[in-house]
A and B are shown apart, each in its own frame.
Chain A
Amino acid sequence: MTKGPHPASFADRLPAFLFPRLSPIAMVGLFIALILFGFLIFPVLQVITVAFQDPASGALTLNNFGDFFGSALFRQSFFNSFYVSAISVVVATVIALPLAYITTRFNFSGSILIQSLGFIPLIMPPFVGAVAMQLIFGRNGTINLLLREHFGFTLPFMEGLNGVILVQSIHYFPFILINLSASLRNIDRSMEEAAQNLGAHGLRLFRRIVFPLATPGYIAGAALVFIKVFDDLGTPLLLNVNNMLAPQAFLRITSVGLNDPMGYVISVILVAFSILSLWASFLVMRGKDYATVQKGGGGLAKRDLALREKILAYGVVIFILLIVLSPHIGLLLLSFGTIWSFAPLPDAYTFDNYIRMWEGSQQYVMNTLLYAGLAATLDVILGTAIAYIVLRTGIAGRKWLDYMATAALAVPGVVLGIGYLRTFQDVDVPFVGKPLASWWVIIAIALMIRRLPYALRACMAALQQVSLALEEAAESLGASKFRTIRRVVVPLMTGGILAGFVTSFATAAVELSATIMLVSAERDSPLAYGIYLFMQTPSGRGAGAALGVLAVVIVALGTVLSQIIIERDKKLRTAGRD
């Protein structure tokens, strides 16, 4: 498929085009491309074409975009979304930076705390997080009630955009923590020592040398936070903040009977802007591959802490963890509380919520494990295949597989959900006798598409660390391409693949935005939907919280387990290397 020295004439190419002789790998690539097209691009196009139609006549028009930019409300929404995303990145950085710095720079026993608790905020369904945060930080939440009682003033943590920023930063900061820590760990020790040797130390050293060297990881994490916040729907809606783009799109798309194209216009703008942000972050990172660990280098020097420093470090870490885990603390209190109304803490404690939850929700748990497990498994399979095709083959257009899969990041869940309903409602599944759109498998597929970018990144990173020579060695010993992949490449990628699986699984298990459109029977509902149902009734809050706690525990256990496997795998591999 590569260009020959002379550009082939159309006639020359025609037969080859009509009867392509594709290699098996190219067939796999084509198959993946079809999956991505069928389950991502096409459904999304189905939705966003409305944005280009005149609502009355159905004719093609750009009027709707003119209306968007002509509307002060939409301009303000755009600005608010941008502002909230940017400030969330800043706040998330403020949270993640000290944690990353302390774990990577010091011999600090609390690092285990950070490593094991730091990812937990990610596995909270965002709308549950918002409920719990209201109870703790809201205008009449625990903190403000106590402040008012003892000091006579309150702080507007959760008022308007502040609330969105707070909830979002707490929810998404682990993206920055994970990427930044990895980046910091990859800095060669001599980079820092050279600066110390030339007279730099402390904050200046960090600002001028250490942080700039960690920017690629930081930007990767920050871009992710930015896009997720920009697209997120659940949190602003739950906090009743309407003047942002995603809620505006949702409100307009789902308003009873209104067929206002602006919702779709906003969806197009959300997708376009997210892609733009991703692209911008790629541009910034280009030529900045600072992975500087060289032979004999080995990460930044870890320093022992003096007693006073240790106390300070523990203070900082515990303070930050208390804040970022406050949604979980709130949820836990709520799940054990009887009535919690206008009081710093619940009136009394009980196990009833758990009993009620357990009676009604085994189904949800089973479904969630099934959907998220299936989605994450498919994700790592697709992720590995795409990573291999992109990094190790010369198939034309292979980059587009990466772009398409990554584009899923930029598609709001609601848009995907509606797109699926539009596309697959008329597709009947053989033997099942239901439309594909209401078959439970579609929920797993939606989750798979939504989480594919995470798994793909992890698989890419893992494959990049597998030396090409190892593959060539296997091939020179007579192993076929597929056997090489199966017996050499995939085993060496285990750690990365597992990491991808965990991220996909953990975040898919608590996803609501796409699934809420696709659940077609209560018996097919996943956990997040179950929590949502419970939380819709005055008496169901405690039970919903209990189910939320259960969700966090299940996902956390899974994550810890795979962390252990990854660590063991890492040890095995380093042992093999020596």
Chain B
Amino acid sequence: MTLEQKAADMAGIEIRDLHLSFGDTKVLTGINLSIRPGEFFAFLGPSGSGKSTLLRAIAGFGPQPKGEILIGGREVATLPPWKRDVGMVFQSYALWPHMSVRENVAFGLQERKVPAKEIRSRVDEALALVGLSHLADRMPNQLSGGQQQRIALARTVVIQPKVLLLDEPLSNLDASLRVQMRRELLALQRKLGLTTIFVTHDQEEANTTADRMAVLDGGVIQQIGSPQELYDRPVNLFVARFLGTANILEGQVEIGSDGALFRTATGDVLHLPAEGTAGPSNIVLRPQNIRIEQVSAPDTLQGEILHREFLGSQVRYLVRAAGTEIVVDQSHRAGEVWLDPGTGVHLAANTRDAVLIPRGA
């Protein structure tokens, strides 16, 4: 018996037109989602975006949603939690304080009426998997946060669930442990080949672990895709702002004689490399795609440095330009002379890496 899944056992998750409300408050609206078997998928969003509610709906907790949830092709939306065969790791770990580590891990197997001998070997295997075999007889309150997290994981994977749901699993750990744990999580997921959903509000966590992710806001999925797609090609301002730092200028796309150009509300003009659709639009510029020039040139925005922060590999400037405040990152080289607040500068934007988002999206 092994915890690793055969490809045939891997289950995908299909969510169709899911709606959910707490009383009169709509919490999830029109969720459609398809997660592939074996995929590491993240739900990313600010608090209150509905990401945890969606995860809990998949596990069978919370109010009954409308719509379909299919796990491995089986409709589960109307099943109680204990019949869904999904494993969930809770934000608080929810280790039962009255049971030892071993009893905690064995619980799910006992509920499944697995023979005692087999329970023992599978619990040992699961504890070995998370590297905590030596703590089997401890009580949960004798464990550190990271150990509790691993036990919670072992307790869930030991039942060989079809999918693994992780609800903000790293939020109760301190920063250094968090990085280590997310690597371990990913390694474990790859090893077991478990279809996994990971809920987080931390884009770095999502970016570093997920194959694909869904960004949620206001109970609605804003965009689904790989971390790179979402960063590079956000479909709306929310996604653009939520993933990384984004400078957003309001303006208009115009098709001029020398191709498309973006005219800001203050009248500055940026030439666009590709054809655009004329009309009111926003342009998203990432801080690292803007250069600071001392002299004026075409396609630059005139501004004044307001503030400077040294981040080690980069120097971050806050520049007032085009009627707004623009963040600019300049990579730092030893001995470089920094610009002081108050200095007048010109910003050259690399419009090839910019994204145009039509007004209203």
Binding site for B on A (CB under 8 A): 188, 190-191, 193-201, 204, 208-209, 212-213, 215, 288, 290, 292, 294-297, 301
Contact = CB atoms under 8 A, between A and B. Distances in A.
From A194, A196, A295, name the one whose CB has the most chain B CB atoms within 10 angstroms. Answer: A194
Given A201-B80, A208-B107, A190 B97 contact: no
A297 B99 CA distance: 20
A513 B91 CA distance: 53
B88 A199 contact: no
Given A209-B96, A290-B98, A301-B61, A199 B111 contact: yes
B94 A196 contact: no
Contacts of B92: 188, 190, 294-297
B90 interface: yes
Contacts of B61: 193, 196, 301
Q: Which of A188, A200, A301 has the most CB of B within 10 A?
A: A200
Contacts of A209: 96
Contacts of A197: 59-60, 81-82, 86-88, 156
A193 B93 CA distance: 11
25 contacts: A188-B94, A190-B91, A190-B92, A193-B61, A193-B88, A194-B88, A194-B94, A195-B107, A196-B60, A196-B80, A196-B82, A197-B60, A197-B82, A197-B156, A198-B111, A198-B156, A201-B80, A201-B82, A209-B96, A212-B98, A213-B97, A213-B98, A290-B98, A294-B92, A296-B91
Contacts of A212: 96, 98-99
A208 B155 CA distance: 16
Interface in B82-125: 82, 86-88, 90-92, 94, 96-99, 107-108, 111-112
B246 interface: no
Contacts, number: 75
Interface string B233-248: 0000000000000000
Contacts of A288: 97-98
B159 interface: yes
Contacts of B108: 198-199
Contacts of B59: 193, 197
Contacts of A290: 97-98
A68 B336 CA distance: 96
Interface string B176-209: 0000000000000000000000000000000000
B155 to A, nearest CB: 7
Interface in B209-236: none
B80 A194 contact: no
A200 B97 contact: no
A529 B186 CA distance: 74
A242 B82 CA distance: 53
A297 to B, nearest CB: 6
Interface of B: 59-61, 80-82, 86-88, 90-92, 94, 96-99, 107-108, 111-112, 152, 155-156, 159
A193 B81 contact: yes
Nearest to A195: B107
A201 to B, nearest CB: 5
Nearest to A293: B92
B107 A190 contact: no
Max chain A C-beta neighbours (<10 A), residue from B108, B112, B152: B108
B265 to A, nearest CB: 39
B330 to A, nearest CB: 40
A198 B159 CA distance: 7
A38 B108 CA distance: 57
Given A212-B98, A215-B98, A296-B91, A199 B112 contact: yes
Contacts of B96: 191, 194-195, 209, 212-213
Contacts of A199: 82, 108, 111-112, 159
B111 A200 contact: yes
B223 to A, nearest CB: 27
A292 B97 contact: yes
Nearest to B84: A197
B107 A198 contact: yes
Listed from nearest, the 8 A-B pairs whose CB atoms lie closest are A198-B108, A199-B111, A190-B94, A194-B94, A196-B81, A190-B90, A212-B98, A197-B88
Given A213-B96, A288-B98, 15 more contacts: A188-B92, A191-B96, A193-B81, A196-B82, A197-B59, A197-B156, A198-B82, A198-B159, A199-B108, A199-B159, A200-B82, A201-B81, A201-B82, A209-B96, A290-B97
Which has the most chain A C-beta neighbours within 10 Å: B59, B80, B82?
B82
A196 B111 CA distance: 10
Contacts of A213: 96-98
Identify the interface centre among B59, B81, B91, B152: most chain A CB within 10 Å of its CB: B81
Contacts of A297: 92
A296 to B, nearest CB: 7
A191 B94 contact: yes
Nearest to A209: B96
Nearest to A198: B108
B106 to A, nearest CB: 10
